[in-house]
Structure 1
């Protein structure tokens, strides 16, 4: 058994033990209500954390440039580029001769 398989087996067994323990805590322990309250608190807290993270990201990310500004930049960059070589006259690398 290689290292990845051993880690996978450990994760599987850990999750199975955790599920059985949670089953006992929720249905058979004297702390049923407390376990459910803690579970609900963390579940709702996690969802609210994700929503807060999304909100923070939206609030702090600068807005994208308008498309008109991007088009102007592309046009100005095209003007700065030299024209492409003519396809009529190309020099082959092997012979050094011009093709017409």
Structure 2
């Protein structure tokens, strides 16, 4: 079991390094550079706005607990 986890960890590590090398190649050395940059910025903006919208959704749909309600 431990050997399987180690192998999976090494595979993830090597895949991430390979993905980064591919990204650097596409961004710096290929003619696809403008579209790669645009897609990168789009994914970053979408990720940040997605997390913020999820927080807003959770705030809007979560029922208040007794400890969060104040008597006025």
Question: Is 1:39 equivalent to 2:68 in the alignment?
Answer: no
Q: Which runs of 5+ in 1 are unaligned?
A: 69-100
Count of matched residue positions in the alignment of Structure 1 and Structure 2:
68
* TM-score for both structures, normalised by structure 2: 0.86
Larger relative contact order (CA 8 Å, sep ≥ 6): 2
TM-fit CA distance, 1:50: 0.4
DSSP 3-state at the match of 2:31: coil
Counterpart for residue 60 of structure 1: 61
Give the structure with the higher percent helix: 2
DSSP 3-state at the match of 2:8: helix
> Which digits, 9 at most, give the CA deviation of each residue in 1:40-64, with x for residues without a partner?
1011001100000000000111223
Structure label with greater radius of gyration: 1
List 4+ stretches of structure 1 deviating above 4 A.
none
DSSP 3-state at the match of 1:2: helix
Q: What CA RMSD, in Å, does the superposition of the two structures yield over aligned residues?
A: 1.6
